[in-house]
Chains A and B, each alone.
Chain A
Amino acid sequence: MICLPFWLRVMALVICGLGGVAGLVLSIVGGLGVSRYLLVSNLRSFCGRMWFMPGISTRGVIVPFLYGGEVYYHLGDLG
């Protein structure tokens, strides 16, 4: 049972409309995407690459353990 005031009830539709207008305007005005308006390229790459998740879960889980292995290789007593 949905029991909400009017504006909360149509909020989903309003947000859909706003998002659609934003998508159309950004692709018409900005050529492709919003790249021209986000002048800070660091912010663009941060948002566009899913907060660097692909880098973290590939390089980020390999390199520290590889270097850590080397450190422990030299620390350890090899007999």
Chain B
Amino acid sequence: MIYYQNVRSANAGILTALSNRVGDVALLISICFISCWGRWGFPFYLTLLRDDVLFRYVVALVLLAALTRSAQMPFSAWLPAAIAAPTPVSALVHSSTLVTAGVYLLIRFREALIGTPLQSVLLFVSGLTMFISGLGANFENDLRKVIALSTLSQLGVMLFSLSLGLVNVAFFHLLTHALFKSLLFLCAGVVIHNVRDFQDVRSMGGLSGYLPLTVSCFNVSNLALCGIPFLAGFYSRDLILEFCSMSVVNLFSVCLVMFSTGLTVCYSFRLAYVSIFGAFNVGDCHSVDDSVSVMTWPMISLTIIAVTGGALFS
């Protein structure tokens, strides 16, 4: 991601690296704490040592590491800045590898987390994160930044469901989100490449007549992100919302999660309308087509998975 001759890329890389170092140091300190017990097989200690003072510090540090890695509220600036990386890198990082590591860390530490005051901290932080990232995406004009902010919003949804105690649903949402978000980034990469490397949605428009395959895949993944019935996002997202309205949660958190769900659909539709269905707005003197099979076959296969994945996994 860091390219030293590009100031914006270097700044984004430094912001990303330094934000992540906070969590790395927290994780290292928690490893040092765990060494007091003689071995590092933490799953055995998660229920055994719940009342230990040292163990509370360990869980708090692990929570801090997960919050930085998943770019939650106080550390959320690095994820939208990290779109300076190439688009396939973003597809890998945002969908499955880097940012979901924090969610997976908390899934492994679920037994230590649930029932402690840290759970309410996580509920508040994740709810706020998905709200502000959804709100920010509605005002954003950069195509990839909108998708990065939607990743942030979905990470907030995952951690929100985790803090409600729905560990399996959080993991399910992690999987389905990886499917449609990687597809979304691949399609965004093709679109950006075809409009001569402009990322601004104002420089796109009317692309549906010129990039039919790419735009179809883009719309399918957008609708899956929104939670349109029977696509991948519907099964996990709807389950989270229904569990949220069924369990005992305060009104503020319910309002946050419902409003940010509405905001997700709002920015997805805005993105689709502005970049795809508007008037033709691309500069002339170049060809816009999507006939490169290297790009189309991954998109088609990912589209099939994004349509059927939710039903298969659930």
Contact = CB atoms under 8 A, between A and B. Distances in A.
Interface of A: 2-4, 8-9, 11-13, 15-20, 22-24, 26-28, 32-35, 44, 47-51, 53-54, 56-58
Given A4-B246, A12-B238, A34-B138, A23 B258 contact: no
Interface residues of B, number: 47
A15 B269 contact: no
B266 A22 contact: yes
A16 B227 contact: yes
A19 B150 CA distance: 14
A43 to B, nearest CB: 10
Contacts of B141: 32-33
Nearest to B246: A4
B136 A49 contact: yes
Interface of B: 11, 15, 19, 73-78, 80-81, 132-133, 135-136, 138-141, 149, 201-202, 226-229, 237-239, 241-243, 245-246, 258, 261-270, 273-274
B77 A56 contact: yes
A71 B133 CA distance: 37
A15 to B, nearest CB: 5
Chain A binding site: helix, strand, loop or mixed by DSSP?
A: helix
10 contacts: A2-B242, A13-B229, A19-B266, A20-B265, A33-B141, A34-B139, A47-B136, A47-B139, A50-B77, A53-B77
A18 B269 CA distance: 11
Given A20-B226, A28-B273, A57-B19, A51 B266 contact: no
Nearest to B131: A51
A7 to B, nearest CB: 10
A31 B278 CA distance: 10
Contact of B246 (A3, A17, A18, A57): A3
